Amino acid sequence: MSAFGFELLGTDGAARRGRVTTAHGVIDTPAFMPVGTAATVKGMTVEAVEATGAQIILGNTYHLMLRPGAERIARLGGLHDFMNWRKPILTDSGGYQVMSLSDLRKIDEDGVTFRSHLDGARHALTPERAVEIQHLLDADISMVLDECTPFPASEEAAAESMRRSMRWAARCRAAFDPRPGYGLFGIVQGGVYPALRRESAAALTEIGFEGYAVGGLAVGEGQEIMFRVLEDTVPALPQDRPRYLMGVGKPDDIVGAVTRGIDMFDCVLPTRSGRTGQAFTRQGTLNMRNARHKEDTGPVDPECPCPTCAKHTRAYIHHLFRADEMLGPILLTRHNLHYYQALMAGLRAAIEEGSLDDFAAAFDADHAHPTP
Amino acid sequence: MSAFGFELLGTDGAARRGRVTTAHGVIDTPAFMPVGTAATVKGMTVEAVEATGAQIILGNTYHLMLRPGAERIARLGGLHDFMNWRKPILTDSGGYQVMSLSDLRKIDEDGVTFRSHLDGARHALTPERAVEIQHLLDADISMVLDECTPFPASEEAAAESMRRSMRWAARCRAAFDPRPGYGLFGIVQGGVYPALRRESAAALTEIGFEGYAVGGLAVGEGQEIMFRVLEDTVPALPQDRPRYLMGVGKPDDIVGAVTRGIDMFDCVLPTRSGRTGQAFTRQGTLNMRNARHKEDTGPVDPECPCPTCAKHTRAYIHHLFRADEMLGPILLTRHNLHYYQALMAGLRAAIEEGSLDDFAAAFDADHAHPTP
């Protein structure tokens, strides 16, 4: 087990090519983390996830603390053993899902109390308990408990929310048991207000974390504002630590965020879209339920080397979705995750070659094509 | 492409070890055919199906004729190309599902008319059309259109139904386009009445088929009656053709039917049970949703070499079913199909060694154990 670390291998403008080292292995950045909410990337075996090239997945503390429970997962050897995923895992703190999924939530200085959306049982999540749960889960990367400031929020409300999150971040840091290969990331908040974002980044840097996340984005503000906030925030973060943009995003969001210096991403989009029939391709998105695919013998994405595209036609995928067959979501989730990992591999190669501008321009041109 | 054929490699009592040769490959018998109703074995990639050892799958004419349609599948290269399954396929005639799934069905001498359970559209299925559809699907083995006589039925009703099925069988034979590697199987009916079963077997043998199925069983009559009907029927079938017991069954049904001379089986049980959380194991069946599995770090079946048992615990499978995660059905379907194929491999080896009685006795003893 090696120390938790981040190595900056190269840069291209603001973009960075790096490598995160954790207890369960390395993560080449820029990296995309598939979401494995309830100890499974929905519809994917762990072998299939690994075959996409993913080097890290994300688990959701909120779901796992409710079912099967953090103490149970700890007794079963931690989340890696439980789901038999041997590579790194990042867990969120649970705060975001508490606010979006649970009932009767109440937030105060101590933390948040809520009722489970599953059975109505009462639970509390404090900064200390959020860190403890993530320790029980054996997450390589834990996240501080924070409040994801809603959008829109007044500057006053955003400031108040952010400053409480910073006090929680300090409590999380104090509660975190330092172990080689394990890290705790702080989360920058502050809404769309540059001064608040810089204040938050400075507060977190003062506390000191193994990595820094940008939170509170992709909540309805739109890509232009999101990119502007990144331009305000990223320069205020330490150069020698990984930077993680939470919950983002669409492929063009990721390309734009990488050019602005982000190293890590997670999003439900490739998996959720895979279940509803939306395919990501190198020529834009496709709705596989659309009747125009019904006798199309071409693959979902002619340029994709994934097993779904190598072995199956659009006509077949279309049929599977029309017939509500599980194999449709299975095959399309697999393709979408391959697409996302191929995008990250392309971004990493472009940064290494110093050709990220060309990559981004070609990406924009491809995705401006009408869908075939 | 070789001629359709059946080679009898050995016997042990009434049981047979054989090999069916079709346009898309060979099938070692006794064989179990996973059910791929709508051009997919539910929840399984074709690679995963192949990895279980399955050499043939079954497709359902009723479902495929309604969606995506037989003519469409033909334009897309047939069912093998459509779903990318390169090994043999057997299709049923559609008659059974018409009677169990469709609305407003009417049966007369010409065939059956019905309304689709999907959209209410009116369809007709005659012996000639059933054969044509299966040709369009490119089934290696086609089945004659028949009426699955309900249970219970009076001897008079069973006779009338069976004799119409025999007239339909002759029309199917006449309509079937003989091609090397493709075969048409007749179906013995006659309910629980030995004289009717023998009359049906004689009528079919007189017409002449590449194989003979026993139909109208596993419809509520119970295992004892089913075995008795097999004992009445099987000796009346040609020795030099494969024998297929349709829609059967539980593992002990299969062991008993193999000892009575049956070569081929199909059943939704391993796949359907896999979706609802029932596991077949060498020590009996388990309900994976049961709370006693929640912290059990052992595999579903300690004696099973399948990837599910090699990689995952009962505790994890239990969690996946409790959380309604797709991966639960995926992993358990995979295990159940491996279990069934391992059972067939064990039966084949026992027949080759002349030790089927020992195999059957050990099987009964294992499955009499309390579930662990």
Q: Which of B76, B116, B308 to mutate to test the interface with A (most CBs of A within 10 A)?
A: B76
Contact state of B83 with A316 under an 8 Å Cβ cutoff: yes
Nearest Cα of chain B lies from the Cα of A39 at a distance, in angstroms, of 8
Nearest Cα of chain B lies from the Cα of A141 at a distance, in angstroms, of 22
B26 & B160 share domain: yes
Nearest by CB to A295, from B76, B295, B312: name it: B76
Radius of gyration of chain A (CA): 20
Distance CA B167, CA B339 (A): 39
Edge to edge, the sheet with strand A57-59 lists A31-33, A264-266, A243-245, A211-214, A183-188, A141-143, A89-91, A57-59
**Contact status of A234 with chain B (Cβ, < 8 Å):** no
Give the torsion sign (CA, B180, B30, B56, B58). Answer: positive
ipTM of the prediction greater than 0.90, yes or no: yes
Nearest by CB to B76, from A47, A315, A322: name it: A315
**Which own/partner contact pairs does A97-101 have at CB distance under 8 Å and 24+ positions apart?**
A97/A60, A97/A61, A97/A62, A97/A63, A98/A62, A98/A125, A99/A147, A99/A148, A101/A62
Is B232 part of a structural domain of the chain? no
* Token output for B165: 């099925």
Chain B residues touching residue A46 (CB < 8 angstroms): 311
Give the three-class secondary structure for A96. helix
Nearest by CB to A67, from B40, B83, B322: name it: B322
Is A92 part of a structural domain of the chain? yes
**Contact status of A68 with chain B (Cβ, < 8 Å):** yes
Q: What pLDDT does residue A105 have?
A: 85
Last residue of a domain, one of A267, A293, A322: A267
Q: Yes or no: say if B179 and B213 are a contact pair by the CB < 8 Å rule.
A: no
Q: Which residues touch A236 (CB under 8 Å, ≥6 apart)?
A: A197, A198, A201, A202, A205
Query: Which among B78, B104, B58 has a CA at the least distance from the CA of B179?
Result: B78
Give the three-class secondary structure for A257. helix
Q: Yes or no: say if A21 and A5 are a contact pair by the CB < 8 Å rule.
A: yes
Is B369 part of a structural domain of the chain? no
B195 & B51 share domain: yes
Nearest Cα of chain A lies from the Cα of B328 at a distance, in angstroms, of 9
| b/e per residue A231-250 (b: at least 16 CB within 10 A) | ebbbebbeeebbbbbbbbbb
A146 & A41 share domain: yes
Nearest Cα of chain B lies from the Cα of A246 at a distance, in angstroms, of 24
Contact state of B327 with A40 under an 8 Å Cβ cutoff: yes
Is B31 part of a structural domain of the chain? yes
* Token output for B142: 């086609």
Query: Could you tell me the CATH number of the domain that includes residue B100?
Result: 3.20.20.105
Chain A residues touching residue B331 (CB < 8 angstroms): 45
Distance CA A69, CA B196 (A): 60
Last residue of a domain, one of A242, A267, A292: A267
Is B230 part of a structural domain of the chain? no
Q: What pLDDT does residue A92 have?
A: 96
Is A272 part of a structural domain of the chain? no
Residues 80-109 of A with CB under 8 A from B: 82-84
- The pLDDT profile of chain B, 372 residues, written as one tens digit per residue, is 468 999 999 999 999 999 999 999 999 999 999 999 999 999 999 999 999 999 999 999 999 999 999 999 999 999 999 999 999 999 999 989 988 888 778 999 999 999 999 999 999 999 999 999 999 999 999 999 999 988 999 999 999 999 999 999 999 999 999 999 999 999 999 999 999 999 999 999 999 999 999 999 999 999 999 999 999 999 999 999 999 999 999 999 999 999 999 999 999 999 999 999 999 999 999 999 999 999 999 999 999 999 999 999 999 999 999 999 999 999 999 999 999 999 999 999 999 999 999 999 999 998 865 454
Last residue of a domain, one of A233, A248, A267: A267
For the question of whether the overall pTM of this predicted structure is more than 0.80, the answer is yes
A263 & A329 share domain: no
Quick count: other Cβ atoms within 10 Å of Cβ B109?
8
Is A160 part of a structural domain of the chain? yes
Counting the structural domains of chain B, the total is: 2
A263 & A282 share domain: no
- Exposure on the CB side of residue B38, measured as CA atoms within 13 A: 20
Q: What pLDDT does residue A372 have?
A: 45
- State the residue range of the domain holding A310: 277-368
For residue range B185-225, list pLDDT tens digits in order.
Answer: 999 999 999 999 999 999 999 999 999 999 999 999 999 99
A54 & A157 share domain: yes
A215 & A323 share domain: no
Chain B residues touching residue A63 (CB < 8 angstroms): 323
B207 & B306 share domain: no
**Contact status of B72 with chain A (Cβ, < 8 Å):** yes
A130 & A195 share domain: yes
Contact state of B325 with A42 under an 8 Å Cβ cutoff: yes
**Contact status of B289 with chain A (Cβ, < 8 Å):** no
**Contact status of A322 with chain B (Cβ, < 8 Å):** yes
Q: What pLDDT does residue B77 have?
A: 98
A72 & A52 share domain: yes
Chain B residues touching residue A319 (CB < 8 angstroms): 38-39, 67-68, 82
Q: Yes or no: say if B331 and B312 are a contact pair by the CB < 8 Å rule.
A: yes
* Token output for B131: 């054969």
A211 & A283 share domain: no
Distance CA A343, CA A30 (A): 10
Contact state of B82 with A325 under an 8 Å Cβ cutoff: no
Is B320 part of a structural domain of the chain? yes
B210 & B278 share domain: no
The DSSP bridge partners found for residue B210 are none
Q: What pLDDT does residue B369 have?
A: 56
- Find the residue in A nearest to B313 (Cα): A82
Chain B residues touching residue A329 (CB < 8 angstroms): 326
- The pLDDT profile of chain A, 372 residues, written as one tens digit per residue, is 468 999 999 999 999 999 999 999 999 999 999 999 999 999 999 999 999 999 999 999 999 999 999 999 999 999 999 999 999 999 999 988 988 888 778 999 999 999 999 999 999 999 999 999 999 999 999 999 999 888 999 999 999 999 999 999 999 999 999 999 999 999 999 999 999 999 999 999 999 999 999 999 999 999 999 999 999 999 999 999 999 999 999 999 999 999 999 999 999 999 999 999 999 999 999 999 999 999 999 999 999 999 999 999 999 999 999 999 999 999 999 999 999 999 999 999 999 999 999 999 999 998 865 454
Integer CA distances (angstroms), B225 to A88, B26, B259, B367, in order: 57, 32, 15, 21
Contact state of A325 with B38 under an 8 Å Cβ cutoff: yes
**Contact status of B307 with chain A (Cβ, < 8 Å):** yes
Chain B residues touching residue A311 (CB < 8 angstroms): 46, 84
Q: What pLDDT does residue A371 have?
A: 52
| Residues of A assigned a catalytic role | 92, 266
Q: What pLDDT does residue B372 have?
A: 45
